[in-house]
Amino acid sequence: MLNVIGAEATLNAQKLVVENSRLGIPLIFGYDVIHGYRTMFPVPLGEAASWDPEVVKLSASIAALESAAAGLHWTFAPMMDVGRDARWGRVMEGAGEDPYLASILSAARVRGFQGENLADEKTIAACAKHFAGYAFAESGKDYNNVDISNATLHNVILPPFKASTAAGAATYMNSFNTIQGLPASANAYIQRQLLKGDWGFDGFVVSDWNSIGEMVAHGAAPDLKEAANMAIHAGSDMDMEGNAYTNFLAELVEEGKVDTKIIDDAVRRVLTVKYRLGLFEDPYKYSNTEWEKNTLYSLGNKSAARKVARESIVLLKNEGKQLPIGESIKSIAVIGPLADDKDAPLGNWRADAIANSAVSVLEGIKARAGKDVTINYAKGCDLVISERTFAGEIQFNTTDRSGFAAAVAAAKKSEIVLLAIGEDCFQSGEGRSQADIGLKGLQMELFDAIYAVNPNIVIVLMNGRPVAIPELDAKAPAILETWFLGSEAGHAIADVVFGAHNPSGKLPMTFPRSNGQIPIYYNYMNTGRPGPKNEVFWSHYTDQSNDPLYPFGYGLSYTDFAYDNLTVDSSDPRAIQVSVTLTNTGLVTGTEVAQLYIRDQFASLVRPIKELKGFQKVTLESGESKDLTFTLTEKELGFYDNEGNYQVEDGMFDVMVGTNSTDLLTETFLLTAEAVQ
């Protein structure tokens, strides 16, 4: 049952079914718990910036705890679509552009939701979605067609799903899109052969909202009855809101078009998940109003949300060490349409969050600043003039500049300005594709007006996707990427702004310079004409650099780190050891995410110019060094061919280690594939 929430409501519905149906089979209550239930955590793309599976697991475990206390058994998360196109609004729900990072974080989120035992009433069943290829919608338009090769399917799209299956994901959700001309709901290859066959998945697959019914609009089925026939044969076990199964499955069985064994398999899979949740033992164990009252939005949950939010912040620029704000600063302007917004930080897909319940940037700054610090606040302008709703169209303010004067005045009388701008919280999410990912409305005009009187500006970005901000990068001395951080957003931002927490986040998606670069991602295939760059006839733009504004894996710290002594020991080809020395060369303790990439120089299929294959998050005191070791095995060194077969090939490999996908040390080694396998 969907969208019935709360301990009392679920208890009443469960009793009605169990006590009045022929078999008394308990309901399973499902809801979109994407980044928290009542206590909101950062949107998943923001959490991915932590590059920390334990942080992601913590977030999911608190979301599961609160959801279970509210009578829920099942969440439609995590979304593990590898997203390369920032125009697609649902990138906010995923872990970014890289299949390796997405695999690790998606598996961590599954473990967070489900814990060690699904029968534990503090856990809920996860749902790996969207299976598969949804994020590759052409032009970044939601629900659009998808055209992908087998190599892309197996090497980019499927790895996070396979990792989540290994982590024990209880359920799967298929996707709206077609895969090589066949709607995912009717795709027996990915659902029956791969998922349930090769991967050994024994849970159930649910369709996305009416995705079986939408097969008719796709032109893949002539009517809803045939859509039901195709979907059940392909391995779609449950029809979400399509009415295809309830209306036609019995009829299809009677006509001999669907074998009862197929129905039995689907039913068995659904019942198995209910059994693992402990619902047959006690169908009411999740519905306890006292437990709900004591669990939702607790101090402990909010403390966890603040911790996760801090870890998700990325320092994009800090020219002249503008941050952290020191004790000598006695006046701070807090300006912007999002500066005192208590609703926007909650983000989209906010489950049962209370509107306007987040800690705003202004509140966080006031709480953290010393008593002798003057805070000068001005909104400057509205970002949107329409009502803020999940399904409503957004209208941006493009005319009302009446608040500019107050904002300029606040900036003039302050030593430093915190300017909170970015996206509206419902600007990213499902159905929120954009052709232009620049800042909307009057925000850039507001920045220019403030910059003219006080250039000491710290940009506090709030957004659910990468945004194109080359003008801000050119002028603003400091930029903080804060995403939509959830309930404790303002406190977490203040912790970073004043130096109580040294930022360590790294971008999980590339930030483009302009819309024209999209899709842009670090692990692209090289062309036959990658250079030289002083000629016309090579793969480039004539009006802009190929380089992104901020590369994948990028993120600064209040300290500095140096990498040296990169070595590769390939004496044991089954476990190649890569070592590097990391040193904190700055003045304060900091945390760095050391990233390892490889490149297969020559292969039977062209390979990406680099691929992430390892990372370590390390905290070092000022002046401290640490030798880091990474191990490369068959799992990291191979790839899938066009038939979906995994293979490791002989040849030279580059191995690269550094602070992001661009700034890297490089060594090479020779791999003998036969010795690896």
Burial of 206 (0-12, 13-18, 19+ CB in 10 A): buried
User: Which residue bears the tokens 């995410």?
Assistant: 593
Taking CA atoms, 404 is separated from 372, 399, 411, 534, 619, in Å, by 27, 12, 11, 45, 42
User: DSSP H helical segments within 222-288, as ranges?
Assistant: 224-234, 244-254, 260-276
Q: Is 312 helix (H, G, I), strand (E, B) or coil?
A: helix
Largest CA distance in the chain: 81
Q: Which H or E element spans position 367?
A: helix 361-368
Q: Angle CA(78)–CA(79)–CA(84) in degrees, nearest 5? A: 145
DSSP at 168: T
DSSP at 140: G
Which residues are 116's β-sheet partners?
none
User: 416-422 and 457-462 as β-strands: parallel, antiparallel, unpaired?
Assistant: parallel
Backbone torsions φ then ψ of 452, nearest 5 degrees:
-65, -25
Query: Distance between CA 180 and CA 644 in Å, rounded?
Result: 15
DSSP at 98: -
Query: Distance between CA 550 and CA 470 in Å, rounded?
Result: 10
Q: Active site residue: 52, 98, 208, 343, which one?
A: 208
- Asked about 208 being catalytic, the answer comes back as yes
Q: Which H or E element spans position 437?
A: none
My answer on whether omega of the bond before 154 falls inside 30° of 0, hence cis, is no
Q: Angle CA(71)–CA(76)–CA(80) in degrees, nearest 5? A: 145
Query: Distance between CA 118 and CA 122 in Å, rounded?
Result: 8
User: 331-335 and 374-378 as β-strands: parallel, antiparallel, unpaired?
Assistant: parallel
Backbone torsions φ then ψ of 607, nearest 5 degrees:
-105, 160
Q: Angle CA(275)–CA(106)–CA(348) in degrees, nearest 5? A: 95
User: 646-647 and 639-640 as β-strands: parallel, antiparallel, unpaired?
Assistant: antiparallel
Are 64 and 71 within 8 A, CB to CB? no
Q: What is the sign, positive or negative, of the torsion defined by CA atoms of 479, 485, 490, 495?
A: negative
Q: What letters, b where the CB count within 10 A reaches 16 and e where it falls short, cover 259-290?
A: eeebbebbeebbbebbebbbbeeebebbbbee
- The edge-to-edge listing of strands for the beta sheet with 127-131 is 127-131, 171-174, 204-206
Tell me how far the alpha carbon of residue 618 is from its chain's centroid: 22
Taking CA atoms, 24 is separated from 15, 68, 118, 264, 282, in Å, by 9, 21, 21, 18, 12
Would you name the residues annotated as active-site residues? 208
